[in-house]
Amino acid sequence: MAVIGAGASGLMAALFAAWQGAAVTLFERNNSLGRKLLVTGSGRCNLTNAAVAPAAYACAAGTSQARTWLVCSNPHNKAARRRASRSGPHSRRTSR
């Protein structure tokens, strides 16, 4: 399988395809992969920036946001995926 573009979507497509057993080749014209991910959400790559506390995430379980994302994204972690699928992503509006 060929994935063109190593931004957030391309990286996730490649990751999930590889988890399903596909042989994946990732093509990116820039020198680094996922460069914009490093600057979004103060490095946390959260969905909206409206609520960055761990409790605002569907699968937050007292771990850091990055670790929580990795745990919940792993298709082999069935419990985390069940919790995440029941509640979905969360966002809260904050007054500024």
Per-residue pLDDT tens over the stretch 68-80: 455 555 555 566 5
Q: Which domain holds residue 83?
A: 47-96
pLDDT tens by residue, 5-27: 998 889 889 999 999 999 999 99
Judge if 30 and 55 occupy the same domain. no
What residue has token string 């990116």? 28
Judgement on whether residues 52 and 93 belong to the same structural domain of the protein: yes
Tell me, yes or no, whether 33 and 56 share the same domain.
no
The verdict on 30 and 61 lying in the same domain is no
- Whether residues 93 and 60 share a domain: the answer is yes
Q: What is the CA radius of gyration of the chain?
A: 15
* 93 and 59 inside one domain: yes
Per DSSP, the residues of 8-31 read HHHHHHHHHHHHTT---EEE-SSS
Q: Are residues 58 and 34 in the same domain?
A: no
Phi, psi of 17 (to 5 degrees): -65, -40
Tell me, yes or no, whether 22 and 65 share the same domain: no
Residues 24 and 52 occupy one common structural domain: no
Q: Does residue 83 surpass a pLDDT of 60?
A: no
pLDDT for residue 32: 82
Phi, psi (deg, nearest 5) at residue 88? 70, 175
Residue 4 is classified by DSSP as E
Report the residue count for the chain. 96
Q: Number of structural domains, the chain?
A: 2
Asked if 28 and 10 count as a contact pair (C-beta separation under 8 A), the reply is: yes
25-75 per-position pLDDT tens digit: 999 998 888 877 766 655 555 445 555 565 555 555 554 544 445 555 555
